[in-house]
Amino acid sequence: MIRRIVATALAVTTTVGLTACGSNSSSEGSTDAVVIGASMMLSGQTNLETIRDGYQWAVDEANAAGGIDVGGAKRKVTLKILDNRGDTNTMVQQVRSLALQDKAAALLGSCCQQNIDMSAQADSLKTPLVMGALPIELRPDGKGYVWDSFQSLVDGAGGFFQVAATAGTNKKILLITNNDSQGKSTADLYKGLAGKAGFTVAVSTDAPAGTTDYSDAIGKAKAAGAEVVIASMTPPDCFAMWKQMKALAYTPKLAIGLQCAQTPGWASLGAVGAGTLVQMSWIRTSGLPKADEVVSKYSAKYPNDNDLSSVALGYHEATILLAAITKAGSTDHEKVNAAIGQTDLSSALGKVSFAGGKSATPSFVGQWNADGTITQVWPKQGASALKSLSGLA
Amino acid sequence: MTGRKDATTAGAALLVAAVVGLAVAPGLEPGVQDLGTTLLVYLTVAQAWNILAGFAGQVSLGAAAFVATGAYTAGLALAHTSIGWAAAVALAGAIAGLIAAMLAVPLLRLRGDYFTIGTLAASIAVQALLTNWNWAGGASGLTLPIDRIPAGTTLLRLAVVVAAAAMGLTAYVRYSAFGLRLGALRDNEPAAAGLGVAVYGHRFATWVGSSVLTGMAGAVVAYQYVAVSPSGVASVNWSLDAVLMALVGGAGSLIGPVLGTTIVYYGLTRMLEDFQVLSLLVEGTLLVLIVRFAPAGVLALLTRAARPLRRAATLPAAGTEPA
A134 CB neighbours in chain B (<8 A) are none
Q: Collect all residues of chain B within an 8 Å Cβ-Cβ radius of residue A117.
A: 141, 225, 227, 229, 232
- Taking an 8 Å cut-off on Cβ atoms, the answer to whether A124 and B226 are in contact is yes
What pLDDT does A1 receive? 45
DSSP states along B206-263 = HHHHHHHHHHHHHHHHHHHHSEE-HHHHT-THHHHHHHHHHHHH-TTSSSHHHHHHII
- Per-residue pLDDT tens listing for chain A (393 residues): 445 444 444 444 444 344 444 444 444 556 689 999 999 999 877 789 999 999 999 999 999 999 999 999 999 999 999 999 989 999 999 999 999 999 999 999 998 888 988 999 999 999 999 999 888 787 777 899 999 999 888 999 999 999 999 999 999 999 999 887 778 889 999 999 999 999 999 999 999 888 899 999 999 999 999 999 999 988 889 999 999 999 999 999 999 999 888 876 788 888 999 999 999 999 999 899 999 999 999 999 998 898 999 999 999 999 999 999 999 999 999 999 999 999 999 999 999 999 999 999 999 999 999 888 899 999 988 899 999 999 999
Compute the distance between CA of residue A389 and CA of residue A274 in angstroms, rounded to an integer. Answer: 7
Model pLDDT, residue B296: 82
Residues of chain B contacting A11 with CB distance shorter than 8 Å: 17
How far is Cα of residue B299 from the mean position of the Cα atoms in its chain?
17
For position B44, what pLDDT does the model report?
98
Give the residue from chain A lying closest to B302, CA to CA. Answer: A6
Tell me the per-residue pLDDT of B291-311, one tens digit each, with 9 for 90 and over: 888 888 888 888 888 888 777
Cα–Cα distance between B24 and B27 in angstroms, integer? Answer: 6
Q: What is the dihedral sign for C-alpha A281, A285, A286, A290?
A: positive
Per the CB < 8 Å rule, is B310 touching A2?
yes
DSSP per-residue letters across A129-150: EEE-SS-GGGSPP-SS-EEEEE
3-state DSSP assignment of residue B191: helix
CA atoms of B267 and A17, how far apart (whole Å)? 10
Round to whole Å and give the CA distance between A30 and A24: 13
Burial of A58-71, coded b for 16+ CB within 10 Å and e otherwise, reads bbeebbeeebbbbe
Please indicate whether, in this complex, the C-beta atoms of B229 and A121 are within 8 angstroms of each other: no
**CB-CB neighbors (< 8 A) of B31 in chain A:** 21-22, 24, 97, 100-101
Q: What pLDDT band is residue B313 in, cutting at 50, 70 and 90?
A: confident
Instruction: Give the tens place of pLDDT for each residue, B221-279.
Output: 999 999 999 999 999 999 999 999 999 999 999 999 999 999 999 988 888 888 888 88
- Smallest CA–CA distance, residue B17 to chain A, in Å, is 9
What is the 3-class SS of B154-188, one letter each residue? HHHHHHHHHHHHHHHHHHHHHHCHHHHHHHHHHHC
Nearest CA in chain A to B233: A89
Domain boundaries, chain B: 21-188+195-236
The more confident residue out of B283 and B82 is B82
Question: What does the pLDDT read at residue A11?
Answer: 46
User: Using CB atoms, which residue from A5, A93, A116 is nearest to B227?
Assistant: A116
Conformational region of residue A78, where left means phi above 0, alpha means psi within -120 to 50, and beta covers everything else:
beta
Amino acid at site B65: A
- The residues that bridge with B142 in the sheet, in sequence order, are B228
pLDDT score at A139: 77
**Do A30-152+288-362 and A154-281+365-392 fold alike per CATH?**
yes
Q: Do A180 and B138 touch (CB under 8 A)?
A: yes
B143: confidence class by pLDDT, cuts 50, 70, 90: very high
Strand A277-280 versus strand A350-352 pairing type: unpaired
User: Pick from B238, B132, B39, B34: which is nearest to A14 by CA?
Assistant: B39
* Alpha-carbon separation of residue B65 from A210, B172, B211, B235 (angstroms): 18, 25, 9, 8
* Chain A closest-CA separation from residue B198 CA (Å): 31
When scoring B134, B143, B259 by the number of chain A Cβ atoms within 10 A, the one with the most, hence best to mutate, is B143
A141 contacts: CB under 8 Å, gap ≥ 6: none
Decide: B304 and B297 in contact? Cβ < 8 Å: no
3-state SS of A145-176 is CEEEEEECHHHHHHHHHHHHCCCCCCCEEEEE
Integer Cα distance of A306 and A264 in angstroms: 7
Could you give phi then psi for residue A306, rounded to 5 degrees?
A: -60, -50
CA distances from B57 to A203, B168, B181 (A): 51, 19, 12
Query: Which residues of chain A form beta strands (DSSP E)?
Result: 34-40, 68-70, 73-75, 77-83, 106-108, 129-131, 146-151, 172-178, 200-207, 228-233, 254-259, 277-280, 345-347, 350-352, 358-361, 364-368, 374-378
pLDDT at A138 (0 to 100): 78
- pTM of the entire structure? 0.86
Alpha-carbon gap, residue B291 to B278, rounded angstroms: 20
Q: How confident is the model at residue B316 (pLDDT cuts 50, 70, 90)?
A: low
B256 to chain A: which residues are within 8 Å by CB?
none
Select from A288, A336, A335, A342 the least CA-distant residue to A316.
A288
Confidence of residue B317 (pLDDT cuts 50, 70, 90): low
How many Cα atoms occupy the beta-carbon half-sphere of B118 within 13 Å? 16
Nearest to B303 among A2, A94, A178 (CB): A2
β-strand partners of A75: A68
The confidence band for B97, taking pLDDT boundaries of 50, 70 and 90, is very high
B71 Cβ contact list (under 8 Å, min separation 6): B92, B218, B219, B221, B222, B225, B228, B233
Q: Is the pLDDT of residue B24 over 50?
A: yes
* pLDDT value, residue A16: 39
Indicate which of B24, B42, B43, B226 best probes the interface with A, i.e. most A CBs within 10 Å of its own CB.
B226
**Cα A32 from Cα A34, distance rounded (Å):** 6
Tell me yes or no: is domain A154-281+365-392 CATH 3.40.50.2300: yes
Phi first, then psi, for residue A168 (nearest 5°) are 70, 40
* Topology adopted by domain A30-152+288-362: Rossmann fold (3.40.50)
CA atoms within 13 A on the CB side of B2: 1
Of A375, A310, A359, A377, whose CA–CA distance to A152 is shortest? A359
The residues spanned by each domain of chain A are: 30-152+288-362, 154-281+365-392
Number of alpha carbons in the 13 Å side-chain half-sphere of residue B60? 37
**Banded pLDDT at B323 (limits 50, 70, 90):** very low
Closest to B254 in 3D by CA, of B45, B53, B51: B51
Q: Which chain B residues have a beta carbon less than 8 Å from that of A17? A: 262, 266
Give the count of beta carbons closer than 10 Å to the beta carbon of residue B1.
5
Sheet strands side by side (includes A129-131) = A77-83, A34-40, A106-108, A129-131, A146-151, A358-361
Q: For residue A246, what are the CA distances in angstroms to A8, A218, A243, A266, B201?
A: 64, 10, 5, 15, 56
Please write the tens of the pLDDT for every residue from B177-218.
999 999 999 999 999 999 999 999 999 999 999 999 999 999
Cis peptide before B322 (omega within 30 of 0): no
A116/B230 Cα distance (integer angstroms): 13
Of B140, B232, B276, the CB nearest to A180: B140
